[in-house]
Structure 1
Amino acid sequence: LEGQTKDPALKPVIAQCKKDVKGGLSLTDAFSKHPNVFSRLYVNMVKAAETGGILDKILDRLAAFLENEQEIRGKIKSAMIYPILVLIFALLMVVALLLFVLPKFKEIFDSMNVEMPGATKFLFALSGFAQHYWYIGLGAGFGGYMFYRWYSKTDTGGRQVDLLKLKLPVVGELVQKMAISRFSRTFATLIASGVPMMRSLEIVGDTSGNRVIAQTIENARNAIREGQKISTPLAQSNLFPGMVTHMIDIGEETGRLSEMLSKVSDFYDSEVENAVKTLTSLIEPCLIVTMGGIVGFIAVSIMAPIFKLISNIN
């Protein structure tokens, strides 16, 4: 592996792991020294595999899990590339109009003493602000972004941001489906690999990527400590649909929890793919209509004084 790896960041990690294993450490201990490379999910699955003597099977299962995760991310990224490019192009076009095109028209209208309607005055005022005070807008945007990053990392702020993501129209449904898919797939993989239930839920909560989902999973851990089922707090949270909690309940009753979770994961993988397609199909016409409205407003605001000037000349 060390010889085949071309990644400059991964190569020394593999070399160090090889050295540690030769020095008498277990593979789990060697991997746990590099948390930025080997996640807690990875380390705990390897630990369970070493304990049960089924390292080859667990690594195959882990590889399939990571491939599935990568495939889903790839589909989402490829689906979002076109709308993002259209949005960037639209923003650049608006900036070019404000900074370079509209000032020329303003000079012409001012030189001719053309009486301008309110919409045209507003447009030229906006263009003048963008031309002379662009750094204020840039600074405000950068400051807002940095504040968002800081606020989303705090416990209270992060919880509110994650809750907002779940409640956003259209986007919230996609975030929820992605979270359920990841929860089911990760939980199923850990349980099937022999990782204890409580430990599995802890890892699933840590890797959920959403504080609201993580708190729900923590509630499930507390419920298990009190002798309850996993499905009970999940159903009470209103984040997991009835189909999901019923499947988990059946899995608990029949001792086939991993199998049921895998079925839930497969179902929500396809749901995520369909949700992404729906989102992109909604974004594209919205962008077109929005840009058409902006360009139309600019065109009407510019043409109105011109028509008035022509009328006065006639």
Structure 2
Amino acid sequence: MKVGFFLALSTKKEKGSFIENLAMLLTSGIDLVSAFDTIATETRSAGMKKVVNFMKEEIEGGSSLSNAMDASRIFSPHIISLVQLGEQSGKLIENLNAIVTQQQKEQALKAKISSAMMYPVFVLGLMVVVSIGIAWFILPRLSSVFKSVNKKLPIVTRILIETGNFLGEYGYIVIPALLIAMTLLVYFVFIYRRTKFVGQFIFLNTPIIKRLVQEVEISKFGYILGNLMSAGLPVVTSLRSLADITSINRYKRFYSFLADKVSEGNSFHKSFTTYKNTSQIFPLQVQQILFASEKSGRLSESLVNIGEKYEEKTESTSKNLTTLLEPLLLVIVWFGVGTVALAVILPIYSLVGNLGDTPDTQPPAAKTRVVKTADPSVEVPESTESSATEDGVEVLLTGDDIVEILPTGVDYLNVRKEPSTGAEILTRVKPGERYKYLEEITGWTRIELPENGSGWVSANYVRKSDQD
């Protein structure tokens, strides 16, 4: 029977149900052909229905069940071997039930790995979606807001703004391309048969995941190999079947190596010791149990016990994996949230901090400073700007003058350590308060403070006080 890609895909999940239903029907006393008729009637998948009808025709033509399953080309060699052994020994139903149990164990192990990875995958996926939403829709708007502020922005904010501008202009191309690239990367690293060894290398070198993968493979090795041998399948055939079942290349190579060595007449002990880095594949404790049970003739029983023991360990490790990944994922999420928050809050904080230095309206036009001489009728104009005014005319202040703080629109005026808007803020003074004038630099006036020595204020908001 010719099996294409789509037929193999459509029958992948229903093969287990077919064997389980066949075992139950044969146990109830129904003959083989009638059992196939019943299964074909209940099968919903068109692909699986086609396979069941094909096998029924083969059986009606005189083929055995194992030959019909082999001709369908959708069942693995070890399943066909078990069915064939059951036909020869008269234990077909028992072997079918053993296959069902084995498949249930495999599905349970896969489900444990999937459940352990579901939470981190969900959190990371949600984080990617939220990040794309922020980058595509929110950042471009923030960019226009911050651009209107004539202040030097923090580097985090500048990076965020440039990213927002870029995505605002090219996001409809970049984001779909990025999603496609990520999907292809996951496919080729973890799924595609020829390149998935890269993903396996990553898993097998990540401490916690490595332990989980190892426990799953040892559980599968013990339970499947033990049951195949108990059913009467030769050790070499069982090992080759195990190599066909596993998807981890490191274990696949090891099982094939064991099969070759055992077929040459070597024991498990010798086969294990001649393989490089065996301890990275199987713990020494498991190896010692296998060697001892091989000598005592109880290998299949010990293998099943190992499989059950490591199945329990797999369940415990999968729970611990989720527990350990939760804080790590929270750190990653909070790092992303914190970066965006800092990029937005830092410039806002800077603006609020400088608000006392910035007038709420346009500053008055520069006026010519008039220097009062000893003769009141003589006034000497000077080109330098002054900060203090008296009756609408700017006057030159001296060290004996008192200046009054003018209204700023925010009910305070920042006093800075140096004559610069970026300098440290020493304190704040209120409109109407009076302080001793010390000196001035263009745009800034230095005043004497009661407790903190002296500081600089914007010259636009001081004037000579009428009261000394």
Q: TM-score, normalised to structure 2's length? A: 0.62
Q: Distance in 2 between matches of 1:144 and 1:307?
A: 37
1:86 CA drift (Å) = 2.2
Change (3 A) 1:311 1:159: closer
Aligned to 1:210: 248
Q: Check the 8 A contact 2:102/2:223 in 1, yes or no.
A: yes
Aligned to 2:328: 286
Identity of aligned residues (%): 26
Change (3 A) 1:103 1:89: same
Matched, 1:302 2:306: no
Aligned to 1:91: 128
Task: Report 1:155-194 matches (<5 A).
Answer: 157-159=195-197, 161-194=199-232
Q: How many residues align?
A: 312
Q: Check the 8 A contact 2:203/2:210 in 1, yes or no.
A: yes
Aligned to 2:117: 80
Aligned to 1:30: 68
Q: Distance in 1 between matches of 2:103 and 2:170?
A: 48
Q: Which runs of 5+ in 1 are unaligned?
A: none
Which residue of the other structure, out of 121, 145, 160, is the alignment partner of 1:108?
Answer: 145
Q: Distance in 2 between matches of 1:234 and 1:140?
A: 46
- Point out which structure has higher relative CO (alpha carbons under 8 A, 6+ apart): 1
Aligned to 1:219: 257
Higher helix proportion: 1
1:136 CA drift (Å) = 4.0
Q: Distance in 1 between matches of 2:186 and 2:266?
A: 38
Q: Which runs of 5+ in 2 are unaligned?
A: 1-38, 357-468
Higher strand proportion: 2
Moved more, 135-144 or 300-309: 135-144
Q: Distance in 2 between matches of 1:74 and 1:146?
A: 24
1:74 CA drift (Å) = 2.9
What do the CA deviations read for 1:219-266 (whole angstroms, capped 9, x no partner)?
212322343222444354221111221222223212222111111111
Q: Distance in 2 between matches of 1:88 and 1:158?
A: 21
What do the CA deviations read for 1:274-296 (whole angstroms, capped 9, x no partner)?
11111111222111111111111
Which residue of the other structure, out of 125, 135, 143, is the alignment partner of 2:162?
Answer: 125
Amino acid at match of 1:105: L
Task: Report 1:15-26 matches (<5 A).
Answer: 15-26=53-64
What secondary structure does 2:207 align onto? coil
Aligned to 2:24: none
Q: Check the 8 A contact 2:262/2:271 in 1, yes or no.
A: no
Change (3 A) 1:232 1:11: same
Q: Check the 8 A contact 1:205/1:217 in 2, yes or no.
A: yes
Q: Check the 8 A contact 2:54/2:72 in 1, yes or no.
A: no
Change (3 A) 1:137 1:95: closer
Amino acid at match of 1:104: R
Change (3 A) 1:8 1:308: same
1:173 CA drift (Å) = 1.4
Moved more, 293-302 or 124-133: 124-133
Which residue of the other structure, out of 298, 305, 316, is the alignment partner of 1:274?
Answer: 316
Q: Distance in 2 between matches of 1:154 and 1:18?
A: 33
Q: Distance in 2 between matches of 1:26 and 1:303?
A: 76
Q: Distance in 2 between matches of 1:154 and 1:3?
A: 35
Change (3 A) 1:148 1:300: closer
Larger radius of gyration: 2
Change (3 A) 1:199 1:137: same
1:209 CA drift (Å) = 0.7
Q: Check the 8 A contact 1:158/1:211 in 2, yes or no.
A: no
Q: Distance in 1 between matches of 2:67 and 2:336?
A: 59
